[in-house]
Amino acid sequence: MIHEIDPHIFNNQFKKNSELRDDSLIFIFGNENETSFGGGAVMTKDHHIPVYSDLKFRGAEEVPVFLFNIDGRDCFLMKHVSDGLLKEEEGFVFRSFRDVRNVQDIPKHEHFLAMTAFQLHNWYKNNVFCGRCGSKTISSEKERAIVCPSCGHTVYPRIVPAVTVAIIDREREKILLTEYAGRAIPFYALVAGFTEIGETLEETVKREVMEETGLKVDNIRYYGSQPWGIVDDLMVGFSCDLVGSNEIHRDEEELKLAEWFSREEVVLQPTDLSLTNSLMRAFKEGRL
Ligand SMILES: [Zn+2]
């Protein structure tokens, strides 16, 4: 999965005194009008995230913002890099997250860091002004927080829980796979959705399964979780057992397809990055 980056060591601890070095990774994002799932693009140089020495010799003036640390190296965000500073003929290119995921031509740990950096980039961008009093905000020097100097309102990064669900028909040894409507490149997925206010994760599972397929489930079991920063998510994976009828009433707005598949019939996703694919693989290999 995307966050499995061993032997690299990700450290998300906030640092007051970060160290900007020539080999610090620098994250720059673009294509901000792209609002669909996985929208947005990250600056790359020769199939890597650029490092500070790539930029400072080109005259970038902005003081980068500390993000996190990888393998003892601090990583930073640059919010405003002037047009034309980073040229394509010198290897700089904005790559959409969708493209990076499909092609997988940058190192996996840099891909994961870019998704996580994008979450912080959006958090900074969406909190320039205080949501309570409208004053201009500043970054805290003590912790990873945005504070309002006028009213003291403090904003931390928001993490949005969502579930992905392997529904298993124990009697027929089948799993329910879906295809989302409106996805450009089709591949199989599972029933999934965001947790609503006042809801437990188990209730989210039951509600999403009922809404998308009309099925009833029980015996909900935790499988694992996965950060998915490009949409601020913490995905939580569950498996559960079908109760009663296996007749599917598909939500046609959400899903293009919802069908039962035997273990042998399961077609995995083109990449092994998602928790959803990990659940599908576990069923295919007889581990669910
Ligand atoms: Zn305020």
> Could you tell me the sign of the dihedral formed by the alpha carbons of 226, 231, 233, 238, in that order?
negative
Ligand 1 centroid distance, CA of 156 (Å) = 14
The residue assigned the tokens 């970060």 is 18
Decide if 261 contacts 281 (C-beta within 8 A): no
From the CB of residue 168, how many other CB atoms can be counted at a distance below 10 Å? Answer: 21
pLDDT at 83: 67
Q: Over 90: is that where the pLDDT of 58 sits? A: no
pLDDT band at residue 35 using 50, 70 and 90 as cut-offs? very low
* Cα distance between residue 259 and residue 81, in whole Å: 47
Ligand 1 centroid distance, CA of 34 (Å) = 29
User: Would you list the domain boundaries of the chain?
Assistant: 10-125, 127-158, 160-284
Question: What Å distances lie between residue 90 and 84, 138, 200, 204, CA to CA?
Answer: 11, 35, 50, 48
Neighbouring residues of 61: CB distance < 8 A, sequence distance ≥ 6: none
Alpha-carbon dihedral of residues 271, 272, 276, 277, nearest 10 degrees? 90
For the chain, the average pLDDT equals 92
Second CATH level (architecture) for the domain 160-284: Alpha-Beta Complex (3.90)
pLDDT band at residue 81 using 50, 70 and 90 as cut-offs? confident
Q: Over 60: is that where the pLDDT of 36 sits? A: no
pLDDT at 102: 87
Ligand 1 centroid distance, CA of 146 (Å) = 11
Neighbouring residues of 214: CB distance < 8 A, sequence distance ≥ 6: 247, 248, 249, 250
Ligand 1 centroid distance, CA of 155 (Å) = 10
* Cα distance between residue 209 and residue 206, in whole Å: 5
Ligand 1 centroid distance, CA of 151 (Å) = 4
Ligand 1 centroid distance, CA of 142 (Å) = 18
Its pTM stands at 0.91
Neighbouring residues of 36: CB distance < 8 A, sequence distance ≥ 6: none
Q: Over 90: is that where the pLDDT of 169 sits? A: yes
pLDDT digits (tens, 9 = 90+) for 213-256: 999 999 999 999 999 999 999 999 999 999 999 999 999 998 99
Q: Over 60: is that where the pLDDT of 128 sits? A: yes
